[in-house]
Amino acid sequence: MLARPTPLPADIDRLIASADEILHRQANEGLQLARHALMQAKTIGYIQGEARAGLLLGSAQLILGQQQAALATFQQALTIAQASSLEKSNLLEQMARSHHDLGDTPQAAKIWGECAQIALENQHFTVFIQAQIGLGQVHFGFEEYEAALQCHYKAFDFLYTSKDPVLRCQVYINIVMDLYSLARLSEAETMLQRARDISLSIRHLDNESEIYRISGLLLLQQGDIENARTNFASALKICLLQENPWHKAMSLLGLAHCDLAGQLWHNARIQLDEALTLATQLQNPHLLCKTHHALLLACTGLEENAAAKIHEIAFAQYKKMLQRPRVC
């Protein structure tokens, strides 16, 4: 029986490229390819390939809602990444994302700050933009919408360094959410249209689902419940294609808010129970806070006072958890 040939670095690079190409369309397949590339890189001692494969494996785990596993993967890869390498900048950015998704906002902010500094010093401008997006999301989570907008505008200012339409779309989407939260709806609509225009030229499921979801939010704010519902349903359909539990839960929340606006309490409760299951699996306090608040409204409408009280207490607990720690 012939022995299996030893893989070459070029073979591993091709595996990594294949994993990267399909990651945002088929996260499970991307995860398998990245894991295989990681094992092969370890076999031949290909350090750079091992760091890059670890980055992709962790990114796939993040998409699939496996935050703890992703964090462990990134930490392992970081131990072998070269000090000023692009891999190190990317790993720090994704580690911060993992901490943020797990609700450890102070640690996320600290790592994103470190990442932004290292990325700027080494002219890794794409990673710098991603770190600024993350720092803005930290402020957004604390309802500091003006500060969030300033971070996202800083990311916008560096878009000239990147030709990546996916990244540009992500920056626009975050700015839209900041403007929406500041009740600057006309500006939000204008920026959302710019995101839509870019989205037409690329195939990126995360961004597509977010554009539909945010369109739903803006329509709901304007009282157009049925068109809002159509957009949230489109966002949910995309999420089911991509197996992204975070986006699925957020889309279900959007549909539930349409039902709440129409006083369809029972329908809202069904959507929210499913969203709560996903939020609990993800252990994401931001998502849990939003879901318990919506369930409080639904149960109040159904006159289920005991259940409403349970969700009121849970909402208050998560809301307190998400408050910015006081500096003594």
Per-residue model confidence as pLDDT tens digits over 268-305 = 999 999 999 999 988 888 899 999 999 999 999 999 99
Q: For residues 257-267, give the mean pLDDT.
A: 97
Alpha helices in the chain (DSSP H): 9-22, 27-44, 47-63, 67-78, 86-101, 105-121, 125-141, 145-157, 165-181, 185-199, 205-221, 225-242, 245-261, 265-282, 285-301, 305-321
Question: In this predicted model, which residue has the larger pLDDT, 327 or 136?
Answer: 136
Predicted pLDDT at 4: 63
pTM: 0.87
The top-scoring range by mean pLDDT among 19-28, 54-63, 235-244 is 54-63
Instruction: For domain 164-243, give its CATH number from 3.90.1010.10, 1.10.600.10, 1.25.40.10, 1.10.3720.10.
Output: 1.25.40.10
Q: How confident is the model at residue 242 (pLDDT cuts 50, 70, 90)?
A: confident
Tens of pLDDT along 73-118? 999 999 998 877 899 999 999 999 999 888 888 899 999 999 999 9
Topology alike, domains 86-162 and 164-243 = yes
Question: What is the third-level CATH fold of 86-162?
Answer: 1.25.40
Domain segments of the chain as ranges: 86-162, 164-243
Q: What's the pLDDT tens digit per position in 202-234?
A: 878 889 999 999 999 999 999 999 999 999 999
